[in-house]
Structure 1
């Protein structure tokens, strides 16, 4: 007689735990989805997806549900564990590694790195890439902003980014949001673990044109890389391939403005973005 397979040893994911807890709380409250929708102002179909694990939700909807159920911080803590499920599977291995990384290098060619984006900038980026409903959008923005704790936690990683000038010339549609984003970059430059450099147009051709690159150094000394263009991304763990990217990055860094000159460059852009005031004379 063959051995019987069992799932008893498999632990539920944080996403499943969140869904189960939401369903349990509603059942205990005796509320229908329609009633819950009225009390939280969220669509009942959306709330149902949260209870089945089809959606993760945003901190706003979790806070609203917590208030209705009197659940305190429990739901938010579960959501924080489950939020990475808002990302596509192909990014999850990278996200697991980035959470452990002690040093991070980035080269940005299409947009400001996610760890440095404001909420308004992230919203415009997501809106531009593909159509989403508002709930999808809020989930993805919340997940992206949540990752920024990597730069602010007690054991924050050392972060260096080289921004192509084109990234800083492509403004958001809302001038006020662009001002906030530039100010946010300048604030990030004040962090002891963050270094920004701008690669000006006149730096000329280089080996990473058209490719965004992230290189992570892990506590055991191992390095991995993630490359991305407009259509696809690839996690690279082969040491020889990662080393090639590191050398290309080092050459790129030599072409970029110094950190001090890069701050001055961003400050000039901020000044240029200020609205003109009529001459009072």
Structure 2
């Protein structure tokens, strides 16, 4: 079987399984198996796969047919122009989360040596993207999951920002309390925000991601209620800024929680699909 035949076979299998992007996913899987760039698949499409490569390709195609996310299959995901290691048990970074990074960088760019906390850091994508793009920033990356901490540590080291991104394991504010860290310039967070009852109706791909990173409680607002009221204890006053990713219908509720906790200048930013996705507030 040559490359062209393998791509055709893979596309057909994924299409019949109901995978949303069968052509692209077959290309990503095959380029991963061959250890080459995706574009080269079309330049060298007459090259034959070895028996071992074909077997590996078929195994990974079968996983994708079971809706295992492509990022878990190939072990990586691009985010904010950077490649991140990803494995099962860690939330896969989304393009819309890049708006959180943009907001953080816009604010950090006005501060000489910004100090930032990233709560629920997951794979470390937000923390690393901020540190790579602002060489003066110091980021405390907070995460409770053992698997996510392992992945975040690997990404921090891979991007050579371990001197400015400090990974702290624990639940939300606890690691900062224990380390007596306060006077933060910025807090960022992409917390779990899916209402519990909606988890069962998520797309098949998303159901393969960790529930811990998705379940935001009965109304999806549990983590905003846990984070926001205590944020003023850790932010500089005046001027400390908080930046959240939110669900498409949560802006009004999160705005109320922010206002009750003393935040002002509250702004909401929309994502690529024109849904409310990021909310910011200032003390």
TM-score of the two chains, using structure 1 as the length reference: 0.31
The structure where helix makes up a greater share of residues is 1
Greater radius of gyration (CA): 1
TM-score of the two chains, using structure 2 as the length reference: 0.31
The structure where strand makes up a greater share of residues is 2
